[in-house]
Amino acid sequence: MIRLQQLLIGYRQRGHKRKVLSTALNFSASSGEMVAVIGPNGAGKSTLLRTIVRQHEPLEGNIDILGTSWHRYSSRDFARICSFVPTGQPPVSQLSVFEVTAMARYPYTGWGGRLKKDDKQAVAKALARVHLESMRDRLLGELSDGERQRALIARALAQDTPLILLDEPTAFLDIPNRYEVLQMMRRISQEQNKLFIFSSHDLGFILETADKIWLLYPGQAIEGAPEELLRDHALDTLFRNTDIHYDLHKGLHIPLQQRYHTTIRLTGDEDEIPWVEKALLRAGYPVSHSRTDNGEIHIEARKKNYRIWIKNQPEENFLSINSLILYLKNIQTGKA
Amino acid sequence: MDREKENKTFLLFLLVTGILFLILILLDIYTGSTRISFREVTQALFHPEAGNSQYATILYRFRLPRTFTAILAGIALSVSGLLMQTTFRNPLAGPFVLGISAGASLGVAILVLGFSSLFVFGAGTLLASSSIALAAILGAVGVLLLIMAVSLRVRDIMTILILGIMFGSAVTAVVAILQYFSTETMLKVFIVWTMGSLANVTGIQIRLLIALVAAGLLLTTFLAKDLNLLLLGEEYAQSAGMRIRHTRLLIFLTTGILAGSVTAFCGPIGFVGIVVPHIVRVTLQTSNIRKVFPATILAGASLLLLSDILSHLPGRQGVLPINSVTAILGIPVIIWMILQRRKLSSLM
C-alpha cells in the first residue's frame, strides 16, 4: 500500500547545505497493519511522518501510495487516501466534538461545507468507533486529554482514508489511556483493514501492539516485526549508553545495581516475599531465601507485618514495605 | 451545552443584537451635535421638502452618511479581526496589531505628505477619496503580503506576530520621517486622518465603501469552510486537503480589502476588530465560523454605532475622535477577558 523508495528526509538549509536525518529509506507497509515509527529524539520520526503527508519536502526519493507517486495526487484526492493526526493539541477549544470530527469531511463537501447524509453517517460512525457518541456536543476544551485524543482520532477516521498517520498519539496520556488508544487503533486497523503509521516512545506498548516497526537511528534504518528486531538485537542501539535491555519473559528490563554486601535473608508468606524482595533489590541489597540463619539481617514478611532482626539492634516491626526500607536505609547511614 | 440549546443561544443572540442594532441606528440618526427634536427629525427624514430645510440638510448630508459609514466600518473591522484571529490562531490578533493599519497610514502618508505637491485635495472629490483609499489599500496589502511572505517561511505563529509588530513600528517610523518633512497644512490633514472619523464619507465614497465591504463579506462567506478548518491549525487543515497558501492568500486579500478600505475612508479605528469576535465567541460559546461570522457582523455594526453616538456627546457641540471612543470602550473589555479566562488559548 505504501512504499518508500530511496527516501532521504531532512532539511534544506541556507545555500546548498542539507541536514540529512536518515539513510535512504526503503520501508513499506500494507493495509491492516499497525506500523510504529521509533527512534531516539531527533532521529526524524516526525519529519518522516510529515514527509509522507506532504507537509515537508524530502531531500530525495519517492513515496509510492496505492501505486501512484504521492506528490501526483491533488490536495483533495490526497486527503481522501491519507489523514494525519499531528502531535499536541489543536489551538481551539470552543468547538464541539461533532464539529471537530465533521471537519474531516472537508475533501468531500462543496464550497459551503454543508454535510450531506453520508457525511453525517461517516462522522457518527467515527465517533462510535472511539466511544464518544455520548460526548458529541461537548466542547473540545472540556475534554480530558484521553478524550481529546480519541476525538482527534475520530476526526482522522471520519476522513475515511485507507491510510492514517499519527504523530505521537500517546504523548501526554496516562498509562490506561495510552493502552486504550493503541488498542483502539489496533482494533480498527484489523476490522477496517486500515493502515496506521504512528510514532511513539512507548516501547513497552509498541512491542505488544505493533505489527511492524520502522526503526530510525542516525545512520541506520531497519524495518521488521517487533520480534525480529528484538531477536536480532536491533533495538539495542536504542539503549546504547544505558543498561536497559529487553528480556523475552520480563519485557523491558532495567538492571538494578547492588550497593551493599550484606545479604538479607528473607522468609515469610509466599504472597509477600516477591514484593519485599523487589523492594530490597531496588534498595541495593542482595537477597537470600536460605532456611539457616547465618547472615546479619533477617526479615520475616507476613501480610502487612514485616519483622526485622539486625545484629546488635533490637527487633523491629513495620506495617509497610516503605517504612521497612526506610529503616534499613537509616541503619546504613547510621541515623537510626 | 447540547446542540439545541446552542442553536437557541445563537438565535437569541441574533435577535437581541438585531433589536439593539435597530435601536442604535435610530439613536444615531436622532441624536447629534445639533439638537433637533424627535418630530423634526422624523419630518425631515420622510418629508424633507416640507419642514426646515436646514434640518433635512443635516440629516441627509451628515447624519445618514455617518450612520451608514459606522455600520459599514463596524462590520468590516470586526470581520477582518475575526479573519486574522482565525488565521493566526491568536486571540489578540487584529488588523491593528498586525500592522495593516500602519501599512494603510504609510500609504496615506506617502500620498498626503510625500506626493502632496503632485495632487490637489479638495474635500469630497472623487479623485481625493479614491486615491486616499487606493493608497491605504496598497499600504495595507503591502504589509499583509510582507507578513504572508514571512509566514510561508516561518512556521511559528508567535514569530510572525512579533514580526508583524516590528513591521508596524518600522512603518510608523517612516511615517514620522514623512511628517517631519511635510508642510503644516498637509500634516494637519494627516493627523486628523489618523484620529479616525466617520463623518467624512459622503456620496459616491459611501457607494465605493459599500462595494468594497460587500466584496469582503462575499469573500469571507466563500472562505467560511476553510476558516472553520483553520481553527484546528494548519497541520490539520492541510491534512484535510486545504491548500494553505492559496487560502492564506485569499484571507489576506479579504482582510486587506475590508480593513484597508475602512482605514482609508475613516482612518485607523482600533480595538473594534479585536473585541467584537471575542464578545461573540464568549457569548455564543462556540468558535464555529458559521455562527460567529453573522453574529460578528451584527455586533460589530452595533458597537461602532454605539461608539459614534457616544463620540457626538449628544446635545453638545464638538466631537470626540472615534478612535479614542472605541479604545475607551474596547480596552476594558479586552482586560476583562484576559483576567476572566487566564488562559488566552481558551478564548478561541
| Domain contains A131 | yes
A270 in the same domain as A234: no
pLDDT of residue A107: 92
| Domain contains A207 | yes
Tens-digit pLDDT profile for residues B187-232: 887 887 788 888 777 778 888 889 999 999 999 999 999 999 999 9
Q: Which residue, among A103, A127, A136, A153, would best test binding to B if mutated, counting the most B CBs under 10 Å from its CB?
A: A103
Tens-digit pLDDT profile for residues A170-219: 888 888 888 888 998 999 999 999 999 999 988 888 888 899 999 998 87
CB B84 within 8 A of CB B230: no
| Domain contains A183 | yes
Of A242, A272, A294, the last residue of a domain is A242
Are A106 and B222 in contact (CB < 8 Å)?
A: no
Q: Which strand (E) or helix (H) includes residue A250?
A: none
Tens-digit pLDDT profile for residues B69-86: 999 999 999 999 999 899
The helix/strand/coil state of A267 is: strand
A281 in the same domain as A221: no
Nearest to A91 among B6, B224, B348 (CB): B348
Shortest Cα distance, chain A CAs vs residue B216, angstroms: 17
A285 in the same domain as A235: no
Total number of domains in chain B: 1
In chain B, whose CA is at the least distance from the CA of A153? Answer: B236
A158 in the same domain as A32: yes
How crowded is the C-beta side of A202, counted as CA atoms within 13 Å?
A: 23
Output the pTM of the full model.
0.83
Beta-carbon contacts below 8 Å between A and B: 97
A297 in the same domain as A180: no
- Which chain A residues are within 8 Å of B158, Cβ to Cβ? none
Total number of domains in chain A: 2
- Which chain A residues are within 8 Å of B2, Cβ to Cβ? 137
Are A100 and B232 in contact (CB < 8 Å)?
A: yes
- Please state the ipTM of this predicted complex: 0.81
The one-character DSSP state at B312 is T
**Could you tell me where the beta strands, DSSP code E, fall in chain B?**
none
Q: Using CA atoms, how far apart are residues B105 and B99, in angstroms rounded to an integer? A: 10
Tens-digit pLDDT profile for residues A240-253: 666 666 766 667 77
Are B348 and A92 in contact (CB < 8 Å)?
A: yes
Tens-digit pLDDT profile for residues B11-62: 999 999 999 999 999 998 888 777 777 788 788 778 777 777 788 888 888 8
Q: Which residue, among A54, A106, A136, A159, would best test binding to B if mutated, counting the most B CBs under 10 Å from its CB?
A: A106
A90 in the same domain as A233: yes
Q: What are A's interface residues with B at a Cβ cutoff of 8 A? A: 53-55, 75-76, 78-80, 82-84, 86, 90-96, 98-100, 103-104, 106-107, 109, 111-113, 137, 139, 141, 155, 159
Per-residue pLDDT, averaged over A275-295, amounts to 85
The percent of residues above 70 in pLDDT, for chain A, comes to 95
pLDDT of residue A322: 92
Q: Using CA atoms, how far apart are residues A316 and B155, in angstroms rounded to an integer? A: 63
Per-residue pLDDT, averaged over A98-109, amounts to 93
| Domain contains A258 | no
| Domain contains A248 | no
Q: Using CA atoms, how far apart are residues A153 and A83, in angstroms rounded to an integer? A: 10
Tens-digit pLDDT profile for residues B229-271: 999 988 899 999 998 878 887 888 888 889 888 888 888 888 8
CATH number of the domain encompassing residue B91: 1.10.3470.10
| Domain contains A249 | no
Are B240 and A91 in contact (CB < 8 Å)?
A: no
Q: What are B's interface residues with A at a Cβ cutoff of 8 A? A: 1-3, 6, 89, 222, 224-225, 228-229, 231-233, 235-236, 238-243, 281, 285-288, 345-346, 348
What percent of chain A is helix, strand and coil (3-state, nearest 5)?
A: 35, 25, 40
Q: Which strand (E) or helix (H) includes residue A335?
A: none
A292 in the same domain as A148: no
Using CA atoms, how far residue A311 sits from A263, A266, B146, B169, in Å, is 13, 15, 80, 78
| Domain contains A303 | yes
- Which chain A residues are within 8 Å of B288, Cβ to Cβ? 95, 99
In chain A, whose CA is at the least distance from the CA of B282? Answer: A94
Domain extent for A278: 264-332
Domain extent for B205: 3-347
Tens-digit pLDDT profile for residues B143-184: 878 877 876 777 666 677 788 778 888 888 998 888 888 888
pLDDT of residue B122: 46
Label residue A220 by pLDDT band (50, 70, 90). Answer: confident
